Amino acid sequence: MPAGPDPASPHPMPGHPRVGFLKAFVTRPTIVVGDHTYYDDPAGPERFERDNVLYHFDFIGDRLVIGRFCAIAAGARFIMNGANHAMAGFSTYPFAIFPDWQAPVPDLAGRGDTVVGNDVWIGMEALVMPGVRIGDGAVIGARAVVTRDVAPYAVVAGNPAAEMRRRFDDATVAALRRIAWWDWPAETIQRNLAAIAGADLAALERAAAGH
């Protein structure tokens, strides 16, 4: 019996082509997606790279890195550093993109990579801005505009996104990040799904000790 769905499967839910493991659809080396992270969209997950990762230009060099076991809802988008305009000078107009303007090319990669941790839930039509880092276990509300880093296991919502609450206390968050069940082999995850999906930290710690 297989230990869960094949992480390389484009459509891990038979009869539901709207759900796809993103790893099967990503082709660009500047987008890295972990196992079992899925995108759910009635238009099809195969459009994610084109329609949901915007202003992502190779010459800038920034990366979008998404961890394992993330759930991304329809219309969630990542704005990359290519959307930035230089603001140090008097004008923000991007003269350098037009061949007929002889202007210096600004460095737009200053905000760095956009990084999403593991076991993150991103709601419908959320917008993640360049260089943001979202911690493990975080929840991003529908249509949130994420302009700054999100702490592990925080719930954020709104425009700009603000922290509504933490899912667990600091000690529990520290334990969950130390356990890091998302890094376990698939067979171990399969054996311990009740502990992973439950809310009994002692049970999860026992599972971690036994794996």
Segment 29-46, tens digit of pLDDT: 999 999 999 999 999 999
Q: Kindly report the CA angle at 33 between 31 and 38, in degrees rounded to 5? A: 125
pLDDT category, 149, cuts 50, 70, 90? Answer: very high
Do residues 48 and 125 share a domain?
A: yes
Q: What is the pTM of this model?
A: 0.93
Res 65 pLDDT > 90:
yes
163-191 pLDDT, tens digit per residue, is 999 999 999 999 999 999 999 999 999 99
Judge whether 152 lies within some domain.
yes
Q: Which of 11, 56, 85, 211 is catalytic?
A: 85
Do residues 137 and 175 share a domain?
A: no
Q: Catalytic residue at 85? A: yes
Do residues 111 and 142 share a domain?
A: yes
Do residues 25 and 78 share a domain?
A: yes
Domain ranges, residue 149: 19-167
Do residues 189 and 153 share a domain?
A: no
Judge whether 177 lies within some domain.
yes
Q: Given CA atoms 153, 154, 157, 161 in this order, what sign does their dihedral have?
A: negative
Total domains in the chain come to 2
Mean pLDDT over residues 52-74, rounded? Answer: 95
